[in-house]
Amino acid sequence: MPSYTPPPPGSKIIIVGAGAFGLSTAYALSLKNKYEIWVFDRDQVPIPDAASTAATQNMQLMIEGLPIWKQWNEEREARGKTPVFYKTGAVFFSQNNKYTDYSAASMKHIREAGYGHVIEELTGKDIVDRFPHFKGAVENGYDLAYLNKEAGWCDSSEAIKHIYEKCVNNGVQFVLGPSIGCFEKLFQRGNKVLGIQTKDQKIYHSDRVIIATGPWTAGLIDLGNKLTATGQIVVHFKPPASSIFSQVKNQPVWSADPGFYGFPMTSEGKLKIALHSLGYYNQRTSDGKSVPRTQMTHQNDTIPIKALKEFREFLSKFFPQTSTMDIHYSRVCWYSDSQDSNFLVTPHPNLENIIIASGDSGHGMKFLPVVGLKIAQIVEGLDTDYSRAWGWRETNDNSAAFDAMRAGKSVDLKPLQLEDPNNDETRMCTTSDLKAAISKL
């Protein structure tokens, strides 16, 4: 591995990717007021098909981020804008009056970190009294939970726009667009990276390149087996005004085995539910690398039929009210999965002047206010807990260690290929498939 030399003051740093990692890093570096920072992406911010949309370090990082989320809310309130973080609390469900190993370990870690006061344990009766829209879930065995009172959800699109404005105000330069901002390849001599080439064939020189392209990273840069793009499932319902979902106030974020999670009703009347799982591949024929397949390039894509069946089966027990509802919207959202669910933020082992900042593994957006501060330390060559946890590490194809929230986390399982002609379960759902399975009364 080439020895890493931090960029000296006055260096030009190119960041490829204007998602959570890229913008957070650009802002953190801009605060130092000693670099020329350029950010490239193939679309305007917020990028329409970006995802920005387990370790103890991650818990600490969340704790560090909360005051900044609150600060951003105050900044936006002063300008007449909506919040970016909503402290609704988060309910973590277990079944049959016994905490899951994940919930038990989470409460233990939170208490040991000195934050036991944010936890409230809930019986089935407590759950229904506080949040009556979970009545069906409790009756079907999801009868024990804990509430993290400090947790909530972020408006990812508005948060990305907020930090983008901060970058612009600090002098960060942006090159955005499907031709002028679209990364095509590294510009290099031998193993020395000297900049990037964009789709319009223009070369931009720099002293350092940071690749923060989320799930596209593994398809752009040779990283061996370190990162893989996996497609995860998101669905929206639009409950009628008469529905309990439309009537219950102060709804929390929630999570329940196996890997499902959801959000409060939005101001537009949408109920968003997602699945954190092994996901799906979209392997390209040239090299077998999985690359994102999104509605920007496949406008009629929905979700695989297998995923639909899994959602309907789970929701028939957890939210039985949805059995009479059509799925209003659905899509495949993409992770950049590392093999151990830790981020990959590190100098490339075989190329000079390049930093990889990826491997969100489904946990990137919540760290938007602070992850760039830690990435900037790695760019500047500092030895920290994060540089060690997120560094280049040797793994093998059978060493996957997904976080305990994820459905289907056995290392013996592999994601399915989307639209596999030999497996009808992977075909995209039709509009008819997304209709309610049970007739509305």
Q: What is the pLDDT of residues 311-323, one digit of tens each?
A: 999 999 999 999 9
290 near 217, Cβ under 8 Å? Answer: no
Model confidence at 436: pLDDT above 80: yes
Number of Cβ within 10 Å of residue 127's Cβ equals: 22
Provide the pLDDT for residue 414: 77
Provide the pLDDT for residue 56: 37
Provide the pLDDT for residue 64: 87
148 near 118, Cβ under 8 Å? Answer: yes
C-alpha radius of gyration, the chain, whole number = 22
Region 224-253 average pLDDT: 95
Torsion of Cα atoms, 19 then 25 then 29 then 30, to 10° = 30
Output the pTM of the full model: 0.93
Residues 26 and 326: their CA atoms lie apart, in Å, by 41
Model confidence at 147: pLDDT above 90: yes
167 near 23, Cβ under 8 Å? Answer: yes
Q: Which has the closest alpha carbon to 119: 144, 150, 85? A: 150
Provide the pLDDT for residue 54: 31
258 preceded by a cis bond (ω within 30 of 0): yes
Q: Which has the closest alpha carbon to 167: 19, 42, 66, 63? A: 19
Model confidence at 149: pLDDT above 80: yes
Environment class of 188 (CB within 10 Å of its CB; exposed 0-12, middle 13-18, buried 19+): middle
DSSP class of 381: T
74 near 82, Cβ under 8 Å? Answer: no
Least confident segment among 15-19, 47-51, 143-147, 406-410: 406-410
415 near 230, Cβ under 8 Å? Answer: yes
Residues 28 and 157: their CA atoms lie apart, in Å, by 19
Residues 341 and 337: their CA atoms lie apart, in Å, by 6
Model confidence at 55: pLDDT above 50: no
- How does strand 416-417 pair with strand 271-281? parallel
Least confident segment among 26-40, 53-67, 217-231: 53-67
pLDDT band at 3 (very low <50, low <70, confident <90, very high): confident
Give 14's strand partners.
38, 209
Residues across the chain: 441
203 near 8, Cβ under 8 Å? Answer: no
Number of Cβ within 10 Å of residue 34's Cβ equals: 12
Average pLDDT score, the chain: 92
- Percent of the chain with pLDDT strictly greater than 90: 86
Residues 240 and 244: their CA atoms lie apart, in Å, by 9
Residues 170 and 328: their CA atoms lie apart, in Å, by 40
Compare 145 and 46 and report the one with higher pLDDT.
145
User: Who's near 258: CB < 8 A, 6+ residues apart?
Assistant: 277, 314, 407, 408
Provide the pLDDT for residue 389: 94
Residues 97 and 400: their CA atoms lie apart, in Å, by 30
Provide the pLDDT for residue 338: 93
Torsion of Cα atoms, 152 then 157 then 161 then 166, to 10° = 30
